[in-house]
Structure formats: structure tokens, C-alpha cells
């Protein structure tokens, strides 16, 4: 039985800007908060807006929702240097022990951002139909290999001229059997399936059956300010990082 089975399930929620990550986390908190001990960590670059939005929505006691202001690209904070996030996760789990599930929301990023398995045990990647029907076909590490892919805001499909069923079929083809869930916040059946998926992962985690999977690093890219991120390894070259067992490495 892995040591992680004795602590909270750490569940990442990631995907492009505005796809509905915070809304979906709110939905999960409402559905599970009465029977499970939940905590939420949000990531924003400069603000704590997502945490404030979830607190004001009243989905959990406000003190169970904390923000990490990353001050850097969201993918850096969930992949290359997870230390601030891992500390926030460990702190909130200690303060509200025992926590059943700690949900970590990534700042909205591009299609290729994924969580490091040093930070989360499982991750949900979200796309929405408004981002375009071809996005699922284009793939990427999160689309192809996250533990669950949600195709969100299916209620908007007719308005943005997207064939949601085709988008789901493309996603299934890209994922080799990993689950794909069409969802919108107004679709209670879909929300029921989402909640059931989380319950199953939690049960697998507790019984040592869940094996964290690394969707893989994002592709090399450069930023407007000229910085180049290679993402050729799990961590920034020379950057200190922390492993799931708490050991710190600094490659300097
Ligand atoms: N039509 C529709 N709108 C939705 C749905 N889910 C979320 N939204 C709306 O989409 C907008 C963005 O939702 P958020 O939950 O803030 O998205 P997010 O991914 O957390 O955004 P960032 O954290 O800024 O990247 C809000 O106006 C939501 O009300 C849905 O299922 N259908
Ligand atoms: Mg958000």
C-alpha cells in the first residue's frame, strides 16, 4: 500500500482560461462537501480571485479555500516548481485533518499545461465547446492522458456551431480508453457521473489501487518577454523541487 493512500486524495483541475474550472470545483464541493472533508487550493498569477469567487459562492466553509499567488506562469507552479503549492496543500491538510480530498485549481493556461505527479494524485483536464470543436482532435498531454477529460459547457454547443458529440468522439479516439465526460453545469446527469468518477478515484486511492499517472511535460515554448521554457524534464533546470515523499532536490 503506497504511503499516499493514508492521506487526502490530491485532485488537480487544469485547462485553458475560462473553461469552467472554478465552477466545476464549486459543483464538486456542493455535491460532496456534506459527506467528505474537502479543501481547495486555487492558483492565480497575481490575484486570489478564484478563491474569493468560490468563498463567496458558499460552496465550503471559507477557511477551507486558500489561494496560492504564483507570480509566474500557471504551468510553472503546477509542474516545474511545485513547492509553494505543495506547502499550501500540506498546510491545509494539517489544519483540517483528516481531509479526504484536496482539490487544486491551476491558473488558466494553454492546452499543454499539466500537473506534476509530485503535486497531485489525479487530474481532470477541461476543454469547453466554446474553445472550438477541433481542440480535442489536436490533442496534447492533458487532453490525451489526464485521468479524466471533461468536455464542458455542452449547453453552448448550438450557439458556437460545435458538434459536441463529434468533439467527444474525437477526444475518445485521442485517449485510448481513458474516460471522457461531456458536461455542463445545468446537466445534472453529467454532474452525477462526474461526482461518481471522483468517488471511484477516492476509493481506489484509499485502497492503494490508484496509480498516479504523469501526462507528460508541455512542449517547449517561449514567452512574450523572450524567456524560453524547455520543459524537457519534470523540473526547471537547476530549480529546487520536492518529491511526493517530501525530499527536496536542488540540482544546483
Ligand atoms: N454556459 C455555461 N457557462 C459555464 C459553464 N461552466 C462555467 N461557465 C461560465 O464560464 C465562465 C468561466 O467559468 P470559471 O469557472 O470561472 O472558469 P475557469 O476555468 O475557472 O476560469 P479561469 O480560472 O479564469 O481560467 C463563467 O462565466 C461561468 O459562469 C457551463 O457549463 N455552461
Ligand atoms: Mg478559475
120 occurs within a structural domain: yes
Q: Is residue 229 part of a domain?
A: no
Task: Judge contact between 99 and 205, C-beta under 8 A.
Answer: no
228 falls in which pLDDT band (50, 70, 90)? low
Taking only the tens place, the pLDDT of each residue in 118-137 is 999 999 999 999 999 999 98
Among the atoms of ligand 1, which is closest to the Cα of residue 185?
A: 31
CA of 22 to the centre of ligand 2 (A): 4
pLDDT value at residue 242: 41
Q: Give me ligand 1 centre to Cα 97, in Å.
A: 30
Total domains present in the chain: 1
Q: Report if residue 220 sits inside a domain.
A: no
CATH classification at residue 94: 3.40.50.300
For range 152-166, the mean pLDDT: 97
Q: What is the mean pLDDT of residues 7-29?
A: 97
* 20 belongs to a structural domain: yes
Parent domain of 130: 7-212
Give, for ligand 1, the residue of 16, 18, 48 to mutate: max count of ligand atoms closer than 8 Å to Cβ. Answer: 18
- The per-residue pLDDT for 63 is 97
Instruction: Determine how β-strand 241-242 pairs with β-strand 248-249.
Output: antiparallel
Annotate 7-28 with three-state secondary structure.
CCEEEEEECECCCCHHHHHHHH
**Grid cell listed for 244:** 511526493
Note whether residue 82 is domain-resident. yes
Cα separation, 112 vs 109, whole angstroms: 8
The alpha carbon dihedral of 56, 60, 64, 69 has a sign of negative
* Inside any domain, residue 201: yes
Q: Is residue 187 part of a domain?
A: yes
Q: What is the mean pLDDT of the chain?
A: 88
What confidence tens digit (pLDDT) does each residue in 28-79 have?
999 999 999 999 999 988 889 999 999 999 999 999 999 998 887 888 899 9
Q: How confident is the model at residue 218 (pLDDT cuts 50, 70, 90)?
A: low
The CA distance from 49 to 118, in Å, is 25
Q: Is residue 248 part of a domain?
A: no
Q: Is 187 in the pocket of ligand 1 (CB under 6 A)?
A: no
Amino acid at each position: 500500500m503506497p504511503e499516499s493512500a493514508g492521506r487526502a486524495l490530491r485532485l488537480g483541475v487544469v485547462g485553458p482560461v475560462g473553461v469552467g474550472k472554478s465552477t466545476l470545483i464549486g459543483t464538486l464541493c456542493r455535491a460532496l462537501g456534506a459527506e467528505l472533508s474537502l479543501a481547495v487550493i486555487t492558483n492565480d498569477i497575481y490575484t486570489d480571485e478564484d478563491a474569493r469567487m468560490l468563498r463567496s459562492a458558499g460552496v465550503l466553509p471559507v477557511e477551507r479555500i486558500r489561494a496560492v499567488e504564483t507570480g509566474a506562469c500557471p504551468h510553472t507552479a503546477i509542474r516545474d516548481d511545485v513547492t509553494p503549492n505543495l506547502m499550501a496543500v500540506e498546510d491545509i491538510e494539517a489544519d483540517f485533518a483528516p481531509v479526504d480530498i484536496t482539490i487544486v485549481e491551476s491558473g488558466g493556461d494553454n492546452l499543454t499545461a499539466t500537473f506534476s505527479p509530485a503535486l497531485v494524485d489525479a487530474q481532470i483536464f477541461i476543454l469547453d465547446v466554446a474553445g472550438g470543436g477541433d481542440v480535442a482532435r489536436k490533442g496534447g498531454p492533458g487532453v490525451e492522458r489526464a485521468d479524466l477529460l471533461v468536455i464542458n459547457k455542452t449547453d453552448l454547443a448550438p450557439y458556437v456551431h460545435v458538434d459536441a458529440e463529434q468533439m467527444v468522439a474525437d477526444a475518445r479516439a485521442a485517449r485510448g480508453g481513458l474516460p471522457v465526460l461531456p458536461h455542463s453545469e445545468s446537466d445534472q446527469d453529467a454532474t452525477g457521473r462526474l461526482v461518481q468518477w471522483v468517488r471511484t478515484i477516492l476509493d481506489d486511492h484509499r485502497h492503494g489501487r490508484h496509480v498516479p499517472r504523469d501526462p507528460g511535460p508541455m512542449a517547449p515554448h517561449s514567452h512574450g518577454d523572450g524567456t524560453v521554457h524547455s520543459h524537457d524534464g519534470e523540473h526547471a533546470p537547476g530549480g529546487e523541487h520536492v518529491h511526493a515523499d517530501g525530499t527536496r532536490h536542488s540540482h544546483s
